[in-house]
Amino acid sequence: MATLNIKNLPDELYAQLKERAKREHRSVSQEVVHLLTRALRTPPAESLRDLRGVARGVYGDVDAYLEEERASWD
């Protein structure tokens, strides 16, 4: 296993990390590994552009519906 050394870690950040580790019943090292694992395994947020048409199967033609609604405002 690799070893990670962190230089210039702000005292306040270390204190928060230490308190969190205590709360979670982990050592500081275990908490760092846990947080890094969680952060790196979380899938990146999708762009709104990637979501285009995703709900079409659920909501049908949303654009047509919106156009109808907008036309009813006049």
pLDDT tens digits along 14-62: 999 999 999 999 999 999 999 999 999 977 777 767 666 666 666 667 7
Radius of gyration of the chain (CA): 24
pLDDT of residue 43: 77
Give me the domain span that covers residue 22. 10-41
Q: Is residue 35 part of a domain?
A: yes
CB neighbours of residue 55 within 10 Å: 10
Q: Is residue 26 part of a domain?
A: yes
pTM for the full predicted model? 0.57
Determine contact, residues 66/72, Cβ cutoff 8 Å: no
Q: Is residue 52 part of a domain?
A: no
CB neighbours of residue 20 within 10 Å: 15
Q: Is residue 61 part of a domain?
A: no
Q: Is residue 17 part of a domain?
A: yes
Please give the tally of structural domains in the chain.
Answer: 1
pLDDT of residue 54: 65
Token pair of 24, please? 């979670």
Q: Is residue 25 part of a domain?
A: yes
